[in-house]
Chains A and B, each alone.
Chain A
Amino acid sequence: MSLDLDRRAFLAAALGATALGAARPARAQSVATSAKIVIIGAGAAGSSLANRLAARLDGAEITIIDARRRHLYQPGFTLIAAGLKPANYSVSDTSGWLPRAVNWIEEGAAEIDPEAKTVTTDSGTTVGYDYLVVAAGLKLNYDQIEGMDVSLIGKDGIGSVYASPEAAEATWREMDRFTDEGGVGLFTRPATEMKCAGAPLKYTFLTDDYARRKGNRGKTEIIYAAHSKSLFGVPIVNEKVRMLYGERGFDTRYEHVMKAIDPGRKVATFATPEGDQEIPFDFINVIPPMSAPDVVRNSPLPWADKWVGQGYVEVDQYTLRHNRYPDVFAAGDVAGVPKGKTAASAKWQVPVVEDQIVAQIAGREGTETYNGYTSCPLITRVGRAMLIEFDYGNNLVPSFPGVIAPLEELWVSWLMKEIALKATYNAMLRGRA
C-alpha cells in the first residue's frame, strides 16, 4: 500500500476499502470468447460480477436476471434504523450499476435446470447458458414466525431492520419512541444462517446508546435472545461481545429461538431447551429465519446434507464452483459456504468466481480462491465501532494489524462505516474495487 498518499484520504478511503475487504488490482488482459454467461441476481455480487466479466471477456454474451428495479445497499439498513440516514440512503436504480454490454432481463428466475443448462424466467422465457452464476441472495421468511407479518413493522413496538429501507425507517420510529418512554427492549436472531450476523448485536448496542443519551437507560431493560450458546460464531469475538454486553447491562438469554409473536399482548414466544417461554416486550427487533430463494431451494443445486431445508448452493468453499455441476458457480448470500453473508464477503468472492470462469473459458485452472473473509464493522454506539475481520478458520485477519485493533471500540472504525463504506461498495459494484 502506498503511504505517500494524502493522509486524510488514506484514513477516509483506504480504511473504507479495507472494511469491505481491500481491493484486488484490476486486470487488463481480456479473453476472447462467445460463451453465454447467465447471472441470477443483480445485487451486490451479481452487479459487481457482471461489470468485471464484461470488462474481462471480449464477445461473451452476459445476461443478468433480476426483477428488482431497486438496488438496495443493505449495509446501510442499520444506519437508517438508527435514525442516522433516510430510507433513500440505501436505494438506487439497478440499471445504473449494470454495464451496457450486459443484457438485463427484468424478471425473476423461476426454474434452474443444470442438466439442460437453462434458466426459465417468470414469464416462461428459457435462457440457455454455458456458465451460470447464482447470486440470488436470500429470502426472509417472516411467515415462519407465527403471528408475524411485514405489515406489522413500525406498529406496536415491532421493528425489523432487515425487511427493507422503509421497514428500517419504521423500526427507527419505534426505537426512538421506545428510548423516550423506556420499558423492555427485546432483540432476537434466527437459528438459521443469516446475512450479517453482527447486525442484531449492533442494533442492540445502538438502542442502548440512545436510551443512555436520552437519560432513560434506568427505566429500560434490554434483553438479547441468542439462538445458541454464544453471541457470535467466532469465539474470540464472542468473548469480546459477551464482555461488552455485561458492561452495558444487557440481559442475555441463550438458546432462545423466536417462534411466535402476539402483537396484541406484546409478547414473543421462544423455543428453548426448557420448552416454550414467553417474553413480553415494549420494543422488539424481529429477525426472521432466512433461506435461499425458492428458485434455488427447489432446484438440484443445494446441499443435500448441509443447511438442510435452507437450500444454499453446494459449492466448493474455496473456488465457489458447484461440486456436481462444474459450469455453475455461486456468489454472495446464496453460496453454501460456512462464513460470509455480507457485502464484504461478496467483494472477495466475486473476483474468485471471475477468475474461475475466465480460466475455464481459457482452458486452464483458476488460481484465485476465497478464504472465507468477512468483515463486520460492529457498531457499539453512535460514534464507535469495532472493525472485525475473520476467515473460515475463525482467525482474526485485521487489515491493519497493530494499527487498528479489531477488538477495540474505535472512532476510526466508525468513521469508515459512516463515510467510506458505501463509496467502497459502489466502487465494488462497478467492478472497480
Chain B
Amino acid sequence: MEELTFGTLIAVLEEMFGQALFWGLVVIAVLVTIAFVYVIVRDRSLRSRWFLRAELLAPIGAIAAIWFVFVITRSGLGDVGGPIDVIALILIGLAGAVGLTFLAYTVQAVIGGKRGAA
C-alpha cells in the first residue's frame, strides 16, 4: 500500500466537512483544550466535584457519537459485520465520551471560576 500522508488526510477532511467547517472545528477543539489546560493550571488540580459530574455525561457522549454516525450513514447496530466494526464503534463511542467529559469539565470550571473550585 502507498503511504498515506498527513497532508492527504487534511485534504480529505477539508473536502468532507468543507474548509470553513473543518478548520472551525479544529479551532474549537484547540480552544477547548487550551481552556481545559488553563483551568487545571489555575486550580492546580482536577476538581473532583466537576469531574464526577462531567464523567456522568460520558455515556451520553458515547451514545450521541455512535448515534450521530449511524444517522448520517443510514445504518445501525444490525449492520455490524465483523470485529473491526465493533472496534470502530468502541473508538467512536470513546471519542464521544472523552470529548463530552472534557467539554463538560471545562465549561463548569470556566463558569464556576476560581471561587467555585474552593
Q: Does B21 contact A (CB under 8 A)?
A: no
Is the beta-carbon distance between B16 and A420 smaller than 8 angstroms? Answer: yes
Interface size on B (CB < 8 Å)? 34
Q: Which of A25, A408, A415 contacts B3 (CB 8 A)?
A: A25
Is the beta-carbon distance between B12 and A17 smaller than 8 angstroms? Answer: yes
B104 cross-chain contacts in A, Cβ below 8 A: none
Is the beta-carbon distance between A408 and B91 smaller than 8 angstroms? Answer: no
A390 cross-chain contacts in B, Cβ below 8 A: none
Task: Evaluate whether A7 and B95 lie within 8 angstroms (CB atoms) in the complex, with A411-B75, A419-B72 already known.
Answer: yes
Q: Does A290 contact B (CB under 8 A)?
A: no
Is the beta-carbon distance between A422 and B15 smaller than 8 angstroms? Answer: yes
Q: Closest A-chain residue to B85, C-beta based?
A: A411
Q: Which of B64-114 contact A (CB under 8 A)?
A: 65, 69, 72-76, 78-82, 84-85, 88, 91-92, 94-95
A383 cross-chain contacts in B, Cβ below 8 A: 73-76, 78-79
Q: Closest A-chain residue to B76, C-beta based?
A: A383
Task: Name the distance in Å between A249's Cβ and chain B's nearest Cβ.
Answer: 19
Q: Which of B12-51 contact A (CB under 8 A)?
A: 12-16
Q: Does A116 contact B (CB under 8 A)?
A: no
Q: Which of A348-403 contact B (CB under 8 A)?
A: 381-384, 397, 399, 403
Among A18, A410, A420, A426, the most chain B Cβ lie within 10 Å of the Cβ of A410
Is the beta-carbon distance between A22 and B11 smaller than 8 angstroms? Answer: no
Q: Which of A84, A403, A419, A427 contacts B8 (CB 8 A)?
A: A427
Task: Name the distance in Å between B96's Cβ and chain A's nearest Cβ.
Answer: 9
Task: Name the distance in Å between A59's Cβ and chain B's nearest Cβ.
Answer: 25
Q: Does B118 contact A (CB under 8 A)?
A: no
A403 cross-chain contacts in B, Cβ below 8 A: 84
Chain A: number of interface residues, binned into ranges: 35 or more
B78 cross-chain contacts in A, Cβ below 8 A: 383
Q: Tell me what chain B mostly uses at the interface: helix, strand, loop, or mixed.
A: helix
Q: Closest B-chain residue to A402, C-beta based?
A: B84
Task: Name the distance in Å between A324's Cβ and chain B's nearest Cβ.
Answer: 30
**CA of A410 to CA of B79, assembled, Å:** 7
Task: Name the distance in Å between B62's Cβ and chain A's nearest Cβ.
Answer: 12
Is the beta-carbon distance between A23 and B4 smaller than 8 angstroms? Answer: yes
Q: Which of A128-173 contact B (CB under 8 A)?
A: none
Is the beta-carbon distance between B2 and A24 smaller than 8 angstroms? Answer: yes
Is the beta-carbon distance between A7 and B12 smaller than 8 angstroms? Answer: no
Q: Does A11 contact B (CB under 8 A)?
A: yes
Residues of B within 8 A of A (CB): 1-9, 11-16, 65, 69, 72-76, 78-82, 84-85, 88, 91-92, 94-95
Q: A7-B95, A11-B92, A399-B1 are in contact. List 18 more A-B contacts (CB 8 A).
A: A17-B4, A22-B1, A25-B3, A382-B74, A382-B75, A383-B75, A383-B76, A383-B79, A384-B79, A397-B1, A412-B85, A414-B75, A418-B73, A419-B72, A423-B13, A427-B8, A430-B11, A432-B7
**A-B pairs with lowest CB-CB distance, top 6:** A383-B79, A383-B75, A423-B16, A23-B8, A423-B15, A432-B11
**Chain A to chain B contacts (Cβ below 8 Å), 30 pairs:** A6-B95, A11-B88, A13-B12, A13-B13, A16-B12, A16-B16, A22-B1, A23-B5, A25-B7, A25-B8, A84-B74, A383-B73, A383-B74, A383-B76, A383-B79, A404-B84, A411-B75, A411-B79, A411-B80, A411-B81, A411-B85, A414-B79, A415-B88, A419-B73, A422-B15, A423-B14, A424-B12, A424-B15, A427-B15, A433-B11
